[in-house]
């Protein structure tokens, strides 16, 4: 089992590359294609019928997340949105539609196969205000103060350096900008070792932050109005959660 940061990142990349090319069809093992007991095909119940009708079926099938950040991000016409770990592009496509032609939706992913799938899905959906970038979420390839909203769907927990991710989120947000993230979060009672006992790192379990750690990390990055709210259980002591915060104006 890999333990070094580079090894963990490569294992995550390979898992998602396989998912994008259907070597690993869909997601048959719970959130983030991990190993919880949640049912398969999360995209079929995390997104309602109206949302699924807005995107190609391939984008829904490639959704390996644990929530629906576009449902909580409260997007507005003309805003610039960044999706961390954009995968097959479902949240970028939905965001691009919400912000309209005067807005812009960025998708950031480190996996070539997912980027190719996302671009194809956006083209199929007729989306022209989406830009997909290759990179890691610990080093976001965008300027300071350049986006209004950061979203992410069960990806930050996969990072090998979560404080760096949160600092980067704060950096690229404009003053008054906000985050609306879905992620797997542990109850404060679980130690890192206990989280590891419940699942793998690529399964979004072993690397999950606790609620208190997430809140402290967001504040340490300079964000305010921080909230971490559990939505549904994914394992004993671990939950899908909605994470919100704002950059001071």
Rg (CA), the chain: 16
Q: Burial of 149 by CB count in 10 Å (0-12 exposed, 13-18 middle, 19+ buried)?
A: buried
Residue 161 in this model has a pLDDT that exceeds 50: yes
The per-residue pLDDT for 70 is 77
What per-residue confidence (pLDDT) applies to 97?
93
Q: Could you read off the pLDDT of 61-86 as tens digits, one per residue?
A: 555 556 677 777 889 999 999 999 99
Run of H or E including 185 = strand 173-186
Length of the chain in terms of residues written: 249
pLDDT value of residue 27:
39
- For the chain, the structural domain boundaries read 5-246
Tell me how far apart the alpha carbons of residues 166 and 172 are, in angstroms, rounded to a whole number.
10
Cα separation values, 96 from 15, 41, 110, 144, 199, Å: 27, 23, 20, 21, 34
Percentage with pLDDT > 90 across the chain? 55
* d(C-alpha 5, C-alpha 18), whole Å: 20
Q: What confidence score (pLDDT) does residue 192 get?
A: 87
| Strand bridging mode 104-109 / 130-134 | parallel
Q: Look up the pTM and report it.
A: 0.81
Whether the per-residue pLDDT at 221 is higher than 90: the answer is: yes
Pairwise CA distance, residues 48 & 57, whole Å: 13
Q: Which two tokens stand for residue 199?
A: 């699942």
pLDDT above 60 for 165? yes
Q: Examine the pLDDT at 219 and tell me if it is beyond 50.
A: yes
Closest CA to 238 of 213, 216, 202, 206: 206
pLDDT number for residue 196:
80
d(CA 148, CA 177): 5
Stronger pLDDT, 223 or 14, i.e. the higher one? 223
Rounded to 5, what percent of the chain is helix, strand, coil? 35, 25, 40
**Domain topology for 5-246:** Rossmann fold (3.40.50)
pLDDT greater at residue 139 or residue 196: 139
* Contact predicate 217/230, CB 8 Å: no
> What's the rounded mean pLDDT across residues 117-138?
95
**pLDDT for the residue numbered 65:** 58
Rounded to an integer, the average pLDDT of 87-116 is 93
Backbone angles phi, psi at 56, to 5 degrees: -60, 150
The H or E element that residue 83 is part of is strand 80-84
Q: Which of 9-18, 36-45, 163-172 has the highest mean pLDDT?
A: 163-172
pLDDT band for position 189 (cuts 50, 70, 90): very high
Most confident of 80-84, 110-114, 197-201: 80-84
pLDDT tens for each residue of 2-38: 556 666 666 665 666 566 566 334 433 344 444 433 3
Can you read off the two tokens belonging to residue 185? 């979060």
Most distant CA pair in the chain: distance in Å?
47
Residue 159, pLDDT above cutoff 80: yes
């Amino acid at each position: 089992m890999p333990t070094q940061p580079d090894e963990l990142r490569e294992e995550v990349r390979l898992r998602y590359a396989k998912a994008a090319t259907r070597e690993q069809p869909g997601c048959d093992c719970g959130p983030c294609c991990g190993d919880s007991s949640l049912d398969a095909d999360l995209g079929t119940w995390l997104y309602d019928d109206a949302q699924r009708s807005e995107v190609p079926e391939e984008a829904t099938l490639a959704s390996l997340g644990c929530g629906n950040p576009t449902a909580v991000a409260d997007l507005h016409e003309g805003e610039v949105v960044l999706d961390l770990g954009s995968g097959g592009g479902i949240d970028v496509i939905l965001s691009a539609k919400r912000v309209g032609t005067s807005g812009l939706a960025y998708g950031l992913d480190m996996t070539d196969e997912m980027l190719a799938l996302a671009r194809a899905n956006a083209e199929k959906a007729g989306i022209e205000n989406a830009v997909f970038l290759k990179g890691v979420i610990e080093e976001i390839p965008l300027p300071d103060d350049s986006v209004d909203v950061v979203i992410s769907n069960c990806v930050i927990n996969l990072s090998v350096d979560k404080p760096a991710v949160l600092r980067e989120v704060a950096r690229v947000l404009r003053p008054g900008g906000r985050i609306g993230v879905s992620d797997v979060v542990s109850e404060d009672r679980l130690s890192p070792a206990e989280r590891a006992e419940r699942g793998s790192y690529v399964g979004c379990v072993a690397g999950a932050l606790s609620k208190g750690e997430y809140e402290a990390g967001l504040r340490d990055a300079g964000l305010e109005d921080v909230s971490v709210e559990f939505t549904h259980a994914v394992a004993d002591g671990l939950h899908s959660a909605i994470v919100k915060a704002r950059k001071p104006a």
